[in-house]
Amino acid sequence: MWALVESDNVTQVYTRPKGLTIGEVNYPSNIFMLWSSSELEAIGIYEVVIDNSNLKNSEYYINTDQSFAFADGTVTASYGTATARAIADVTNDDDTVTLGLKTNYKAIINQQAGGLLQDTDWMVVRATEGGTAVPSDITTWRAAVRTKANAMQVQIDGAANVDALAALYAYTYADPDDLTSAFTRPLGEFPILGA
Q: Indicate the average pLDDT of the chain.
A: 95
> pTM of this prediction?
0.78
Q: What is the pLDDT of residues 80-112, one digit of tens each?
A: 999 999 999 999 999 999 999 999 999 999 999
Residue 126 confidence (pLDDT): 94
Residue 97 confidence (pLDDT): 94
Phi, psi of 156 (to 5 degrees): -65, -45
Residue 173 confidence (pLDDT): 86
For the chain, what are the domain ranges? 2-84, 90-184
> Which value, in Å, is the radius of gyration of the alpha carbons in the chain?
27
b/e map 146-182, b = 16+ CB within 10 Å: eebbeebbebbeebeebeebbebeeeeeeeeeeeeee
Residue 175 has pLDDT above 90, yes or no: no
Residue 45 confidence (pLDDT): 97
Q: What is the pLDDT of residues 4-43, one digit of tens each?
A: 999 999 999 999 999 999 989 999 999 999 999 999 999 9
